[in-house]
Structure 1
Amino acid sequence: MKLGKWTLLAAIFGGLYITEASAQQPYAVQPVGFHQAVACDCGEPACGCETTACEPACGCEDPACGCETVSCDPACGCEDLAACDSGCDSACDAPGGCGGSCCLGDCDLGDPCTLFGEHDNFSVGGWLQLGYHTKANGLFNTRPDELQLQQAWLFAEKTLDTSDGFDFGGRIDYLYGTDGQNTQAFGSDPRGWDNDWDNGGDYGSAMPQLYGEVGYGDLSIKAGHFYTIIGWEVVPATGNFFYSHAYTFNNSEPFTHTGALATYNASEDVTVWGGYSLGWDSGFDDNGDAFLGGASLGLTDDVTLIYAAVGGRFGEARFNGVEKGYMHSIVADVAVTDSLQYIFQSDLLDTEDVAGDPARQTFGINQYLIKTLSDCWGVGGRFEWWNTETAGNDSDVYALTMGLNYRPHANVVIRPEIRWDWDDDQVAGLEDGEEQTTFGIDSIVTF
């Protein structure tokens, strides 16, 4: 691994590129539903708690407004949080400039609209994702400089409710778009299930989930075709903050498994997984034999540590007819504040072919920092270092992504981003060779 001193520091601290000032799985984060957090701390004398001397220009004309509703802003002395929460009619729009991020936080999205809704734990829905990006890097976004339908998604699900004992459920997902071919069961040989559902070029269909589930109390078991528990990013666009994907997600992690997986909620802070799969990224055929499992530990109220691993025979489609080995992902999810989330992820993959020769050896570190500004606005940064050793090639790839999430409506999220990729050895498929800059934007409409 070739890693310079400055890039090592960047890998460790790159996720802290965004600061407070500048700023679902089943998924680890729900970027389409931001939580508004307004700070109010009247513990400092500057807040005027001792005198409750509020300035009329700030909208606090009643001296009795006091510590419960007043938080001070250096721009004018105080602001009426009640007025801000009710729509910024007085305090936030005052000539004194009081309000700051409070006015940005004025966002009443209401409840999202649904075509079918939810009835007795049964729901049907989906979304459309349209995207555009200027450069390709082989990571899902495959058609640069053109508007593309990336995900036209439909699902039907019955969720488990074991509060009264035994229950059953299941889920089916269907996907069409340029993300379809990336999500098919391409790991088997001959390739089966949904792998031949292509529609010319990069478009295609996929059925990434089809499973049944039973549960009793704190234990549940799903059997069928389902998403992996590995990693932090996911295939569904609604489960990621960023429009683009990380190298680790695309090159070092499985997307789906076929088999059975048990989930046991040992306590409010501990969840354990364990099961068996027919390799990874394969359909309902005998393609592999692998253990899939892990655990989620709530270390504190603000820190969650997740370990997930898969080991065994992965598939028959590559590397002289078989790939076997071990892969794990370790994710630390930290709530720095009520509105600031930091995620650190480390992935390790080590496999060999049928002859016992190295097939894939990769290691990656991903860091994410996501700042919630309001229900409508969020800003985030992602920094990745990905190392790969395949067929004698040792390469280090780096990527820095800065992005926004904007929700003009409860059913709509718009995600513009700018991304910088650079590769020491020109093996990552970058259009400009060693480095490139990419602008991307997409919109997701849920129903």
Structure 2
Amino acid sequence: MKLSKLALIAAIACGTYAGNVFADQTNDIQLVSCCEATSCDCGEPACGCEAALPSCGCEMGCDGGCDSCGGCPVGGALDCLTGDCCLGDPYSLFGEHCGWSAGGWVSLGYHSKGNALFNSRPDELQLHQAWLYAEKAIDTSCGFDIGGRIDYLYGTDSQDTQSFGIDNDHWDNDWDNGPDYGHALPQLYLEAGYGDLSVKVGHFYTIIGWEVVQATGNFFYSHAYTMYNSEPFTHTGALATYEASDDLSLFGGYVLGWDSGFEDNGDAFLGGASLGLTDDLTLIYATTFGRFDDGDAGVENGYMHSIVADYAVSDSVQYILQSDYLSTENASGATVRDTFGINQYLIKTLSDCWAVGGRFEWYNQEGVFSAAESDIYALTLGANYKPHANVTVRPEVRFDWDDDQVAGLEDGEDQTTFGIDTIFTF
């Protein structure tokens, strides 16, 4: 049953409130941060720390630098927007032991209009990701090491990250719960390394593109057309990584097509390089070519690459330019998909608690939404607010333009969408 818009906004607001309650439950972490902060009046505790001071057991000093707010407490007022904020350390349900770690997150969101880019249930509260993972990270500083990772996902994002690249419902592709919700195991791999070389074998996320499936890895709540329609999500196979120097990483391996489980869906190369051109500029080239798919539409062969330039304009401003190209054909040589996209991101960090950003995309497609060539544009303006180290709230306003009306926008040629989600990590 659909919730009313008022109830939906209240639900998201409750997520923010829950973050503050959650912060109170981790009081030991916050007391340390409050004790270390000082106001501009020597000997006085920082704003919001007075009640905690008796149990701190620490001395207030005058040698700490004061910002305009004297050290913002968790959930501080908006006048602390550009000052420091006492986020404290993130709470971990499982922690890390002898290289092993486990955790997860929950992502709940609302968007006013549908665009079929993960956000599939407009005008209602949507559970995008209930995520659990366990990992043994490798450490090759002393020689050979072995590790691995497993990820489990439930929510509306799961059906887009299942192994749908082959039409026999293998692996997790039939783990559905209705038309939108379901389960997925998007990663299950072993990793071994020695020195500067490591090899990952199994089922893992792609290295293509800048945006990722995981809600915790993206600035914006919504996704780009390029990421959703022209990039793979997962692969099954083997991928090697070689750290050639402090500034150069090389990738290369063999995968069973795109979005495949542990059955042969194709034969493709996956690889690329990451190069630090300067201290502020990193260039990443990733490519995959070969046989991508053997699904309902038949065989799909082709070439795809993604070029990402990540530039630190200043200590607080980040600019990302991404260009994707995809060209595929079927067994008879006819075009299946021919796309080109340019995405630009500009992100400004205001404080540990606040950041704002914009994304502009031009997506040229043929064969994705229609056989004819057409252009789609999208502008997204958003913010990230962290009331606690474990909570992120991401409001945004998105504008889409589609003159040929091929993308299936709810409002036709152009559309304005409000969206907001809250991510709780543990």
Give TM class, smaller chain. Answer: 0.7 to 0.9
Summarize the Cα distance change of 1:102–1:299 in structure 2 as closer, same or farther, 3 Å threshold. Answer: farther
Q: How far is the alpha carbon of 1:295 from its aligned partner?
A: 0.1
Q: How many angstroms apart in 1 are the aligned matches of 2:309 and 2:148?
A: 29
1:82 and 2:65 matched: yes
Q: How many angstroms apart in 2 are the aligned matches of 1:204 and 1:60?
A: 55
Counterpart residue number, 1:295: 273
Counterpart residue number, 1:204: 182
Q: How many angstroms apart in 2 are the aligned matches of 1:437 and 1:86?
A: 36
Q: How many angstroms apart in 1 are the aligned matches of 2:383 and 2:306?
A: 26
Q: How far is the alpha carbon of 1:121 from its aligned partner?
A: 1.3
Match of 1:337 among 314, 317, 330: 314
Superposition pairs for residues 304-323 of structure 1, below 5 Å? 304-319=282-297, 321-323=298-300
Give the 3-state SS of the residue equivalent to 1:332 in structure 2: strand
Q: How far is the alpha carbon of 1:85 from its aligned partner?
A: 8.0
Q: How many angstroms apart in 2 are the aligned matches of 1:101 and 1:253?
A: 41
Q: How many angstroms apart in 1 are the aligned matches of 2:206 and 2:387?
A: 31
Q: Which amino acid aligns with 1:242?
A: F
Superposition pairs for residues 44-443 of structure 1, below 5 Å? 82-84=65-67, 87-88=70-71, 104-319=82-297, 321-390=298-367, 392-443=371-422
Q: How many angstroms apart in 2 are the aligned matches of 1:266 and 1:85?
A: 45
1:93-116 superposed Cα distances (whole Å, 9 cap, x missing partner)? xxxxxxx98763220111111111
Q: How many angstroms apart in 2 are the aligned matches of 1:229 and 1:404?
A: 26
Summarize the Cα distance change of 1:81–1:418 in structure 2 as closer, same or farther, 3 Å threshold. Answer: farther
Give the 3-state SS of the residue equivalent to 1:248 in structure 2: helix
Aligned residues of 2:71 and 2:86 also touching (Cα < 8 A): no
Aligned residues of 1:105 and 1:376 also touching (Cα < 8 A): no
Q: Which amino acid aligns with 1:84?
A: D
Q: How far is the alpha carbon of 1:87 from its aligned partner?
A: 2.2
1:130-189 superposed Cα distances (whole Å, 9 cap, x missing partner)? 000001111000000000111000000000100000000000000000001011000013
Q: How far is the alpha carbon of 1:386 from its aligned partner?
A: 0.1
Summarize the Cα distance change of 1:239–1:334 in structure 2 as closer, same or farther, 3 Å threshold. Answer: same
Summarize the Cα distance change of 1:386–1:103 in structure 2 as closer, same or farther, 3 Å threshold. Answer: closer
Q: Which amino acid aligns with 2:97?
A: H
Summarize the Cα distance change of 1:144–1:102 in structure 2 as closer, same or farther, 3 Å threshold. Answer: closer
- Relative to the length of structure 1, the TM-score reads 0.78
Q: Which amino acid aligns with 1:322?
A: V
Aligned residues of 1:280 and 1:314 also touching (Cα < 8 A): yes
Summarize the Cα distance change of 1:88–1:152 in structure 2 as closer, same or farther, 3 Å threshold. Answer: closer
Q: How many angstroms apart in 1 are the aligned matches of 2:199 and 2:257?
A: 18
Aligned residues of 1:84 and 1:103 also touching (Cα < 8 A): no
Q: Which amino acid aligns with 1:297?
A: L
In structure 1, the gaps of 5 or more residues are: 1-58, 62-79, 90-99
Identity %: 72
Give the 3-state SS of the residue equivalent to 1:84 in structure 2: coil
Aligned residues of 2:343 and 2:361 also touching (Cα < 8 A): yes
Aligned residues of 1:219 and 1:264 also touching (Cα < 8 A): yes
Give the 3-state SS of the residue equivalent to 2:160 in structure 1: helix
Comparing both chains, which one has the higher relative contact order based on Cα–Cα distances under 8 Å and sequence gaps of 6 or more? 1
Summarize the Cα distance change of 1:283–1:88 in structure 2 as closer, same or farther, 3 Å threshold. Answer: closer
Q: How many residue pairs are counted as aligned between the two chains?
A: 361
1:54-74 superposed Cα distances (whole Å, 9 cap, x missing partner)? xxxxx799xxxxxxxxxxxxx
Q: How many angstroms apart in 2 are the aligned matches of 1:83 and 1:258?
A: 52
Q: How many angstroms apart in 1 are the aligned matches of 2:409 and 2:371?
A: 20
Give the 3-state SS of the residue equivalent to 1:337 in structure 2: coil
Q: How many angstroms apart in 1 are the aligned matches of 2:328 and 2:246?
A: 35
1:180-206 superposed Cα distances (whole Å, 9 cap, x missing partner)? 101100001323110000001200100
- Give the 4+ runs in structure 1 shifted more than 4 A: 100-103
